[in-house]
Amino acid sequence: MKHLNQIKEWLMPAILVLSISCVSAQTIQNQKMIRPRKQATLPEGHIYLPHEKLSIVKDIWNGQRRIHFEISNPYIRERELHVFLKLGAEELSELITGTYELFFTGSALALTNRSTGKKVLFVTNHDSDGPNMHIKHGNVDKLVDAIRIAAYFKTCHQP
């Protein structure tokens, strides 16, 4: 009987700690963590970032119009994306530094502005003509032809 009282004294705090842990775990599961999808689940060379702050600079490099995107977050190495636009491509004045959902497949770059919900899709080699474009990228507000889309780690030499 003496041991039963001691077990009871230890059991009550243990149950309290366990219930607090469960409530805390449920709260953490319901939070949206700002980190990329595991790269192992994506094909080689693909990048998916659901909620990313992008610095966007439009310039001319070697005589070609370019849009330069800088990605910087604590979960991945810092990267840069360069989109070289075809002649006659529109200015894209609504594409400014801000928070975007980013999906890069090598031949396409989809950017969805998180505040407006507008999606811009940059494509090379007529990737937009593929039968799976809507499956891969969903509805697109603006489709832009690009000559090339390249991704670099910030420490690497750029073209």
Residue pLDDT, tens place only, 74-124: 666 678 889 999 887 788 888 999 999 999 887 899 999 999 999 999 998
Which are the contacts of 47, defined by CB distance < 8 A and separation ≥ 6?
36, 39, 79, 102, 103, 104, 151
Residue-number span of the structural domain to which 149 is assigned: 39-153
Structural domain count of the chain: 2
In a domain, 143, yes or no: yes
Residues 56 and 108 in one domain: yes
> DSSP per residue over 40-88, as a string?
GGS-TT-EEEEEEEEEEEEEEETTEEEEEEEEEETTEEEEEEEEEEPTT
Helix (H) or strand (E) holding 121: strand 119-123
Residue with the larger pLDDT of the pair 123 and 132: 123
In a domain, 158, yes or no: no
In a domain, 134, yes or no: yes
In a domain, 159, yes or no: no
Residues 80 and 26 in one domain: no
Contact of 150 with 127, CB cutoff 8 Å: no
In a domain, 89, yes or no: yes
* pLDDT at residue 36 greater than cutoff 50: no
The rounded mean pLDDT for the chain is 75
Residues 10 and 85 in one domain: no
Q: Predicted confidence band at 40 (pLDDT cuts at 50, 70, 90)?
A: very low
Contact of 149 with 85, CB cutoff 8 Å: no
In a domain, 141, yes or no: yes
Contact of 147 with 86, CB cutoff 8 Å: yes
> DSSP per residue over 91-113, as a string?
--TT--SEEEEEEE-SSEEEEEE
